[in-house]
Structure 1
Amino acid sequence: MSTRSERSRTFLIIVGIGVGILSSLIVLPFLSWILIAVVLAYVLRPIDDRLSKRLGPGLSAGLSILGGLFLVVLPILVILGVAANQARQLAVDFDLDDVSQIDAVIAEWLGVQVDTATVHDAFSGAVKTGARGLIGNLFSIIGGLPELFLGFTVLFFVLFYLLKDGESAVEWLRRVLPIEPDVREELFEETGLLLYNSLVGTAVVAGAQAVLLGVVFVVLGLGNVVFWIVTTFIAAMIPLLGASIVWIPASIYLLVVGRPLSAIALFVFGALVISTVDNLLRPMVMRRGTQLSPVLTIIGIFGGIALFGFVGLFIGPIVLGITKLLIELLVREYPESTPVEGR
């Protein structure tokens, strides 16, 4: 390589780094909205593919977004709104008598005396804090309507062009990635499987468990069902524990408040039906590909929620999964660039 070519390459690298930093600063305020658009584009892609064969890419993308708005976005917003209202009601209606019964049962089981007021303060404080946080998020959204408008504008345009020109963007990415074709195709394939398992497979399993538990709660006469369905959906995505985080404490609650038959029915249903649904449905909807360990999944879920909000529930595990995939490809394909054990 000539000296002039080296200078030109160095210049392009320096300018590219500078422009890349500026581009990151421009995109960063809307990163959550862009990620939501990516998630929605993946979910709406099958519908758009069918419509585009008859209507063309532009019109099919618009109709897909309109359908997604009424079939996906609005129902989720309504459910979250009802759940927030029920969380507020749960905090208001938290009953001291129920806590007193729990206190008496704990004292009888453990043979110790427990301060009812302390237990009540702990329970009600936790419930009210969670409810306030959920309601506070809604008020913060209302208070930030201008930012909300800008965010939805970015979301709409990114989603529209991902549906309309998504294939072209993928082909462009294939051309510019400086890696061998076989490694590149494996990367794309495994990333696609990871997206499917995180966005479709996990959501289907968690949704089925949440709906089943919600039906049982209605049959048993328990209140705030929508709130518990949303809670169960989130809990069901957590490995190992899953929906049991909800139905086991609920069974204990029914037992200590004097409803042993309901407690037994809920526990048996949770252990036999909900757990079985998880074990049967998960292999059916999940596809083989890059798998995350439970530890990485939990970190991805909670870290994603902390960083991106509700959409981080799905984005967090995907990011960690892609990181794990890249490390595995690097170690396997380029062993000479990785540290050798014992050196």
Structure 2
Amino acid sequence: MIDRHLGSAAQTTGLGSRLRRNDGDHLVERVVALACLLILAIGCYLVMKPFLSALLWGIILTISTWPMHVRLTRALGGRTGASAALLTLAAFTVFLIPLVLLGHNLAENVAQIAAKLQEWRNSGVPYPPPWVETVPLLGSRFHAFWSDLAAGSVEAAATLEPYVQHARAWILGFGALIGSGVLQIFISLLIALFLYRDGQRAAVALSSVLERLAGRRGPHLLDVAAGTLKSVVYGIIGTNLTEAVLAAIGFWIAGVPGAILLGFLCFFLTLVPVGPILIWLPATIWLFTIGETGWAIFLIVWSVMVFSVIEALLRTFLVSRGSDLPMMMILLGLFGGLLTFGFIGLFLGPCLIALGYTLVMEWIGMEKERRSGKPAAHSEA
């Protein structure tokens, strides 16, 4: 009996040691598996890093225009591919063609400026017109400097040279920014094409992931995010882009040089109260000074219509409900996106900032609900 007890104890001890070894082996396997997954994730990130901004914009554009895709697919008899192709073609027209025209216009203006500078170097800078001296504040000093430059003053030329170099570097950098923006938007629209075609499965998978992460609030958060993106894409980006195009058309009709570039600047300044005045008022004054009074009056009427009447109508019809976002955050998203992601950040930055702000506000509402025990009112998507 003693031998049986000793044998049983020995078996138990052996089994325990084998279990401990198995637990240790399982722990090592988990660590190795996690390390492999981490290496794989890092590798995937490095591969996708050059296309990350284009991927994000493609996803945002697809989500915000998905209801249009659904309606168009029904109208085409369920042909998803045809609907995806048509929407992508429309996005090419809206986002890519103005950017290509901007780059072409910038190249033409740079060539004209270079030719004019070469002409001035050969024949000398012309003397300033008399009206320059009548400009308030800096008119007399600028007239004197311009006169010295026209007289061949070496000191005036040396003073101007650093500014010419800075302007040249800025123009070259802006041209490179536009070139990279064309490539990024092209890639994002190709991504959007495939997302339109296969997005239904991706939406189901995303909804399942959110349900696992956020529980029953997952679908609601997805609706909030989609509504926010739609509000920004239509109400902010769509409105500003439309006004920029209309402003450029007005400058072009009136004969103002660099019309497309001026329209591009209006894209930024539309977010600032009375900001577009900084563009069209100098253009109007220039038309008056060269004797084009009729075109100057036309530009005033056109600008008032575009930046007052049309803006009010667009924001009324394009801004979705539940989009009360601080305009300062949208403006910061616009410039921050440009600095972080390049040209495509003009569209991507405001969307990300608005999405983050809305989800934080939603989380605050959830916290208030949890603490008070009362259901909070959900924002409309």
| TM-score bin (small chain) | 0.7 to 0.9
Aligned length: 324
* 2:133 paired with 1:104: yes
Pick from 26, 45, 49: which aligns with 1:28?
Answer: 49
- The CA distance in 2 between the partners of 1:102 and 1:132, in whole Å, is 32
Contact 1:209 1:243 in 2 (8 A): no
Match of 1:279 in 2: 312
- The CA distance in 2 between the partners of 1:22 and 1:253, in whole Å, is 56
Return closer, same or farther for 1:27/1:278 CA change in 2, 3 Å cut-off. same
Please report how far the alpha carbon of residue 306 of structure 1 lies from its aligned counterpart in structure 2 after TM superposition.
1.9
Return closer, same or farther for 1:50/1:277 CA change in 2, 3 Å cut-off. closer
Please report how far the alpha carbon of residue 301 of structure 1 lies from its aligned counterpart in structure 2 after TM superposition.
0.6
Cα offsets for 1:299-334 (capped at 9, x unmatched): 111111122222211110111112112222222213
Pick from 235, 259, 263: which aligns with 2:269?
Answer: 235
Return closer, same or farther for 1:137/1:212 CA change in 2, 3 Å cut-off. closer
Give the alignment of 1:156-171 within 5 angstroms: 156=190, 158-171=191-204
Contact 2:251 2:259 in 1 (8 A): yes
Cα offsets for 1:165-220 (capped at 9, x unmatched): 212222222222211423x3332222222222222222442244234333432443
- The CA distance in 2 between the partners of 1:66 and 1:215, in whole Å, is 24
- The CA distance in 1 between the partners of 2:359 and 2:224, in whole Å, is 10
Match of 2:141 in 1: 113
Please report how far the alpha carbon of residue 37 of structure 1 lies from its aligned counterpart in structure 2 after TM superposition.
2.5
Cα offsets for 1:145-176 (capped at 9, x unmatched): xxx6x9967863x3343112212222222222
Larger radius of gyration: 2
Give the alignment of 1:1-343 within 5 angstroms: 19-42=40-63, 45-46=66-67, 48-50=69-71, 52-53=73-74, 54=76, 59-60=81-82, 63-64=85-86, 67-68=89-90, 71-72=93-94, 75-89=97-111, 91-92=113-114, 93=116, 103-106=132-135, 109=137, 113-114=141-142, 115-116=145-146, 117=149, 128-137=168-177, 156=190, 158-177=191-210, 178-182=213-217, 184-236=218-270, 238-255=271-288, 262-263=295-296, 266-267=299-300, 269-271=302-304, 273-334=306-367
Contact 2:61 2:192 in 1 (8 A): yes
Contact 2:58 2:189 in 1 (8 A): yes
Please report how far the alpha carbon of residue 31 of structure 1 lies from its aligned counterpart in structure 2 after TM superposition.
0.7
- The CA distance in 2 between the partners of 1:124 and 1:101, in whole Å, is 24
What TM-score, normalized to structure 2? Answer: 0.67
Return closer, same or farther for 1:329/1:45 CA change in 2, 3 Å cut-off. closer
Cα offsets for 1:245-295 (capped at 9, x unmatched): 321232343455565665455345434652232233212211122433232
Which segments of 5 or more consecutive residues in structure 1 lack a partner in the other structure? 143-147, 339-343
The residue identity in structure 1 corresponding to 2:315 is R
Q: CA RMSD in A?
A: 4.3
SS class of match (2:335): helix
Return closer, same or farther for 1:52/1:176 CA change in 2, 3 Å cut-off. same
Contact 2:57 2:347 in 1 (8 A): no
Identity of aligned residues (%): 23
Which segments of 5 or more consecutive residues in structure 2 lack a partner in the other structure? 1-22, 150-155, 372-381
Return closer, same or farther for 1:258/1:130 CA change in 2, 3 Å cut-off. farther
- The CA distance in 2 between the partners of 1:130 and 1:282, in whole Å, is 33
What TM-score, normalized to structure 1? Answer: 0.73
Worse overlay, 311-320 or 190-199? 190-199
SS class of match (1:189): helix
Return closer, same or farther for 1:104/1:256 CA change in 2, 3 Å cut-off. farther
- The CA distance in 2 between the partners of 1:17 and 1:251, in whole Å, is 59
